[in-house]
Every structure is written in C-alpha cells, then in structure tokens.
Amino acid sequence: MEATPSYEKGKLYDLAVREVMNDPNQPRKYMDPQALKELSASIQKHGVLEPVLFRKGGDGEIYLVAGERRLKAAQLAGLQTVPALFTEGNPAEIALVENLLRQDLTAVEEAEALDKIMKDFSYKQEDLTQVIGKAQSTISEILSLNRLPQPVRDECRGDHSIPRRVLVEIAKGKQQRTMTSLFKKYKDSLTETKKTGTKKQAMSKAQSLANGMQAVIERILKLDVSAWTDEDKNTVHTAAQDLLQAVEEKLEIQAESEQPGDNSAS
C-alpha cells in the first residue's frame, strides 16, 4: 500500500488536476462562462501564472482552498498539472479572504460568505474587520444584504452589474414585500433609462442635422452676392429647392409608415 504523500507548508508543488477536490466551503457560487473561457485561453498560452492553494484532508485527499477559477480554466485548457501551494490555515477563511481581495464575488456572494464564516467559526463583526481589513460599518452594510428576500438574492448572486450600495438601500426595507417592490422599481428604472437613452440618441442625430442646416443658413446670410451671375443664383436656388424637397419627402415617407393599415372593405 502506497504511503500518503506529505507536504510542507508554503512549498510549491505540481499537482495532478484530476486529484484536486473542490472545497465545499468555496464562497463563489457563480462563474462567468465568458471570463472562464478567456482565462482558459490565457492559461493555454502562458500556463497557470499564480499557484492555487490546497490542503490535505483527514482522508488523505487533496482539497482546493483557493483558486477554483484557475483550476477549472486549467481543466478546460487540457492541463494535466497545476502549480499549487500547501497551506495548513483555516480553509474557509483563506478562501474567503482570497476571493474578497480579488473582488471576484458579487455583492450577494460576499454577504453570504461573510455570514457563513461568522456562523461556522463564531466570529463577531469585530473579528471580520481583522480578517478582511474593512471597517465594521462596511461589514455591517454587507451583512445586511442577507435580509433581502431569497428570490432577490438568487437573481443578484450571479450579476456583477448591480451595485452593492443599491442593494444596501433596498435591504433597509422593513418587510420582505417592501424590499421586493423596491428591487422591482430599481429594475424598471434601468429599463426606462435604457429607453430614454435610445430616444435621446435618435433626437441628437436630428438636432445635429438641424444644427448643420442652421450653420449653412448663417453662412448664406453673410455672403456678398452682388457679383453673382444669373447662373450662380440659379445653381444655389436649385440646390436649396432640392434640399427642401428631400426633407419633405423623407418626413412624408416616415408619416405614411406610421399610419395604421386600411382595414375597410374593398
């Protein structure tokens, strides 16, 4: 029977990817598929530039402590081994700190991870200030997100675009239905902002054209036409008529396309 390998703390090892087990205490619950694909392509070209952290379980198995994205990307890249550092520290705490420092977690993942470590290791908020180096007021705000209704947290867990400050304000609601309503209003406001932005963009094109025309008018008014021949005058006059006709035709075509169809009997 083969002896179980022994490892030294802080020493670098090349571990077989297939032998590394995922840590069930990993705070991250979501991985962006596109970001993972990009990391895999980078690893395929340059290799794993930063070692993952691992620990040894009581059963002799090797458990990942930090670097889940790197390990998964290495697997996708077809690597057989990954550089890894052995650690004997608190696995959950190390994983949490590594992720928080990298800012990989969404606001909800961060809140749930802090809540878990407080419950698992009987930490107080004061303890967390030492662990992750954030002010207690900030930690209190982060933890308040655990008050959000479960459907809201589920929707936000994999979305990095939702700012923590927005969720903190929503979490101040006294009842679950109040928080759900506030979250819906926030989403509706995003939709309305997007529509308004599109409308403004369309208006800006029309305004830009009008501004150009106004500039031409001002230029014409400043011209000295005393020396113009009849041919010169006719040329400019024809161009002006062509411009006016083009604008009228364009607007008429648009007006006709917006009219409802004729449903009368033939």
Active site members: 68
Give pLDDT tens digits for 175-200.
999 999 999 999 888 887 666 665 55
CATH architecture for segment(s) 8-104: Alpha-Beta Complex (3.90)
Q: What is the pTM of this model?
A: 0.47
Amino acid at 4: T
Please count the residues of the chain. 266
Task: Select from 189, 176, 109, 123 the least CA-distant residue to 148.
Answer: 176
Confidence label for 266 from pLDDT (cuts 50, 70 and 90): very low
The residue that leads in pLDDT, 82 or 120, is 82
152/67 Cα distance (integer angstroms): 28
Q: Are 129 and 136 in contact (CB under 8 A)?
A: yes
The residue that leads in pLDDT, 30 or 190, is 190
